[in-house]
Amino acid sequence: MTAPRVLQTADPRAAYQAAADEILAAIRRVLESGHYILGPEVEAFERGFAKYLGAAHVVGVASGTDALELALRAAGIKAGDRVVTVANTATATVAAIELAGAKAVFVDIDPHSMTMDPDALEACLVRSGEAKPSAVVPVHLYGHPADLPRIGAIAQTHGMAVIEDCAQAHGATIRGRRVGTFGQAAAFSFYPTKNLGAIGDGGAIATNDARLADQVRLLRQYGWRQRYVSESPGKNSRLDELQAAILRVKLARLDADNQRRKTLAGEYLRRLAGAKLELPTVAPDCESVWHQFVVRTPAREALRSHLAGAGIQTAVLYPVPIHRQPAYRDDKLDLPVTERTCRELLCLPMHPGLGPADVELVCRQILSWSVAQR
Ligand SMILES: Cc1ncc(COP(=O)(O)O)c(C=O)c1O
């Protein structure tokens, strides 16, 4: 007897299976080349991803966390600096700010996009009595762009660097321009469940600034320009040849995968229009790449257990905002929109391996739950 199928929120194995022949050929090519670290595959992937984004430079590193840390360091962020970001993000965003030696300052989010509220950023900058932050890290969350045109203008007025966290938004656009090209630099993660996912860890920095790209190249390998000669203090954060070769295969499929996510999201929105839920929206000048499909309800836990009973997995990204977590606790800070969002959000299954029948099943279960709520 086969076990009943559980609908997963993300499915990296399905992503591998969809391109298995090409991925296995890419792996074999690397294994037989004898070149495993920082070689032709990494260079080709960096060129390909830069072209895809419309950025002048891409530098591959070992993870999204490292990409953020190295981008901040290359942009001149140093010990004691303050960096503004949001609290409804992966802990990695804040860990990277701290790894660069800086302190994270949290501002609230916009209730519609669930990304950084530019008004809250502005208010934080005019608050007296605190040193002015040196950088801002907006997070393009769930595949939806943060308001980079406004955040960028505010940052420019206040002389701050903008480092975009693009870990959840490969291919998303604002006014037709891809995220990752708005700030001084941007950080991408290739964690296996991301829209562009490796089969292991990986990350990259994108930038139009040749000097910043050069700095990151030094930082990712012991400060070496010439082997065994450290020009500056660096670390080991290299993207390996196997992951780069796999990412080249995945990059060629990224737009089609994102289009599939968009179709599934459209189906969810259409079918759930009457449900007792807050549905996600897309800002008029933006294209989301639907990394997550996030609904909100004060009855989140009840809906979650109803769906679990029907074999439908859900996720909560993120249940506890960073300023309420033991490592970063700040009891004096109130971020009401962030806190409500973290209490109410639920991520429904969303990945290119889903079919319309899967979305229909999820929606049918949500609608029957929703009717029982009235
Ligand atoms: C918003 C965000 N920032 C940063 C990261 C860190 O990426 P990585 O897990 O590759 O270090 C992630 C991934 O979990 C993320 O979702």
At residue 6, the pLDDT reads 83
**167 C-alpha to center of ligand 1: Å?**
5
DSSP code string of 140-174? -GGGPPP-HHHHHHHHHHTT-EEEEE-TT-TT-EE
**Contact between 83 and 97 (Cβ < 8 Å):** yes
131: exposed, middle or buried (C-beta count within 10 Å: 0-12, 13-18, 19+)?
Answer: exposed
Q: What is the DSSP letter of 315?
A: B
Does residue 241's CB lie within 6 angstroms of at least one atom of ligand 1? Answer: no
Does residue 195's CB lie within 6 angstroms of at least one atom of ligand 1? Answer: no
Does residue 237's CB lie within 6 angstroms of at least one atom of ligand 1? Answer: no
Order of strands across the sheet with 286-287? 177-178, 173-174, 286-287
Tokens of 236: 């080991």
Does residue 219's CB lie within 6 angstroms of at least one atom of ligand 1? Answer: no
In one-letter notation, the amino acid at residue 43 is E
Atom of ligand 1 nearest to the CA of 201: 10
260: exposed, middle or buried (C-beta count within 10 Å: 0-12, 13-18, 19+)?
Answer: middle
Q: Return d(Cα 162, Cα 302) in angstroms, integer.
A: 39
The protein residue with its alpha carbon nearest to ligand 1, atom 8, reads: 64
In one-letter notation, the amino acid at residue 193 is T
Q: What is the DSSP letter of 139?
A: B
At residue 112, the pLDDT reads 97
**Contact between 54 and 178 (Cβ < 8 Å):** yes
Atom of ligand 1 nearest to the CA of 63: 10
At residue 3, the pLDDT reads 61
pLDDT tens for the chain, 374 residues: list them.
566 678 999 999 999 999 999 999 999 999 999 999 999 999 999 999 999 999 999 999 999 999 999 999 999 999 999 999 999 999 999 999 999 999 999 999 999 999 999 999 999 998 767 789 999 999 999 999 999 999 999 999 999 999 999 999 999 999 999 999 999 999 999 999 999 999 999 999 999 999 999 999 999 999 999 999 999 999 999 999 999 999 999 999 999 999 999 999 999 999 999 899 999 999 999 999 999 999 999 999 999 999 999 999 999 999 999 999 999 999 999 999 999 999 999 999 999 999 999 999 999 999 999 988 86
At residue 357, the pLDDT reads 95
Does residue 67's CB lie within 6 angstroms of at least one atom of ligand 1? Answer: no
At residue 127, the pLDDT reads 78
Q: pTM higher than 0.75, yes or no?
A: yes
Does residue 189's CB lie within 6 angstroms of at least one atom of ligand 1? Answer: yes
Does residue 168's CB lie within 6 angstroms of at least one atom of ligand 1? Answer: yes
At residue 4, the pLDDT reads 62
Does residue 85's CB lie within 6 angstroms of at least one atom of ligand 1? Answer: no
Does residue 346's CB lie within 6 angstroms of at least one atom of ligand 1? Answer: no
**Contact between 242 and 250 (Cβ < 8 Å):** no
At residue 289, the pLDDT reads 98
The protein residue with its alpha carbon nearest to ligand 1, atom 7, reads: 64
At residue 342, the pLDDT reads 98
**306 C-alpha to center of ligand 1: Å?**
29
**367 C-alpha to center of ligand 1: Å?**
33
Q: Return d(Cα 98, Cα 86) in angstroms, integer.
A: 14
**Contact between 258 and 194 (Cβ < 8 Å):** no
